[in-house]
Amino acid sequence: MKRYLVGGAVRDKLLGRAVVDRDFVVVGASPPEMIAAGYKPVGKDFPVFLEPGTGEEYALARTERKTGRGYHGFSFQADASVTLEEDLERRDLTINAIAEAEDGTLVDPYGGVRDIEQRVLRHVSAAFVEDPVRLLRVARFAARYAPLGFTVADETMTLMQQMVADGEIDHLVPERVWAETRKALAEPQPSAFLRVLRESHALAVLFPEVDALYGVPQRAEYHPEIDCGIHVEMVLDMAARIAPGDALVGYCALTHDLGKALTPADVLPRHVMHEQRGIAPVQEMSQRLKVPNDFAAMASAVCRYHLNAHMAFELKPGTILKLLDALGALRRPERLETFLHACEADKRGRLGSEDAAYPQANYLRAARDAAAAVSSQPFVEKGLVGPAIGEALDRARVKAIASVPKPA
């Protein structure tokens, strides 16, 4: 029995990144032998065991054989005859197919160390095409490692394009698409996720609402980057900069301008009413991907109200109160924070505006605090009842918002 550290732990050690999860492979052992050695079996689809001392997972080396379409269509072989090289060959990328022996020796049969040094995301073998989730994983790894200079190998991109052409990704269920997307939105450079999906032609299949933004022009005086798709990429990366690791802000950034793809051609490059037009595609995309309710609700709110945030200094106090009520921000101030992060990312996700100030955010925070500080108790003590309390409370909150100073 030989034990090896494998996958992301080895990759991240070589990249000098913090190792979060450690996965191990055991070669030359059978399930009864693992149990006899004190390991606790936990695997459902293939033999995985918990090490009795550390609780870490140890999987028996295994091979995979494609038996059907999609990512469920696999059979596994896991026994003492499977070699380490065979186990590593079934993995997606060479940078994830490196093993480290207990003495620290690296086992790298597929050139993963070289690809880490050359900053390349490359598939291990032709079996890559058998699992459509791998296409999304490559795009997600691009979002994580693009800041380090990683790019997708040409031959891997060709395989991914073939997967799309063959309809393999049509078998992805929404939950898997969303799981990888959510992770990608929390990475340092989510724009790379979109670019890889677009180059592989998968964006039009998985996210047609987003793909439709590319090539749609905007007014250069407000958007020097012109292209709506490029703008969304910039907003995604700005969201990752403003709220690192926050996939909710990222999803709002991804969907905030979907309405611009529906602007009539004779109106372009203006996008009047795009925030209203965008609500339907945001809701449709959220339903199709089965995103969590809080993601869907906040994305719709950002789509509908982001121009209100940009125009905060011009809004009447009553309109600001309606905005706060629509966001549920009086009781849940964190919802206002998410909204403001996404709106700031939109404003700064433009060519030349990357370091621009966004004073609207602090003004709306102050307005929220002023409104939330108003209590209904005085009106109850005055004898008001029912709707009269709410009406008086709203009037007092509007007055409190009106007292908030605006930047000079």
Q: Identify whether residues 9 and 79 lie together within a single domain.
A: yes
Residues 334, 321: Cα–Cα separation, whole Å: 16
For 289-337, write each residue's pLDDT tens digit. 999 999 999 999 999 999 999 999 999 999 999 999 999 999 999 999 9
**Strand bridging mode 63-66 / 151-152:** unpaired
35 close to 67: Cβ distance less than 8 angstroms: no
Tally the domains of the chain. Answer: 2
> Has residue 206 been placed in a domain?
no
Q: Identify whether residues 80 and 5 lie together within a single domain.
A: yes
Cβ neighbour number for residue 408 with a 10 Å cutoff:
3
Q: Identify whether residues 85 and 149 lie together within a single domain.
A: no
Could you tell me the pTM of the whole model? 0.92
User: Once rounded to an integer, what is the mean pLDDT over residues 374-380?
Assistant: 87
Residues in contact with 47: Cβ distance below 8 Å, sequence separation at least 6, in sequence order: 31, 34, 41, 59, 60, 62, 78
User: Once rounded to an integer, what is the mean pLDDT over residues 366-377?
Assistant: 94
The whole-number pLDDT of residue 67 equals 54
For 124-142, write each residue's pLDDT tens digit. 999 999 899 999 999 999 9
> Has residue 258 been placed in a domain?
no
Residues 254, 233: Cα–Cα separation, whole Å: 8
156 pLDDT tier (thresholds 50, 70, 90): very high
pLDDT of residue 184 exceeding 70: yes
Domain encompassing residue 168: 132-201
pLDDT of residue 69 exceeding 90: no
Question: Degrees (nearest 5) of the Cα angle 129, 255, 148?
Answer: 55
The whole-number pLDDT of residue 80 equals 81
What's 148's domain CATH number?
Answer: 1.10.110.30
- Distance in angstroms between the alpha carbons of the first and the last residue of the chain: 72
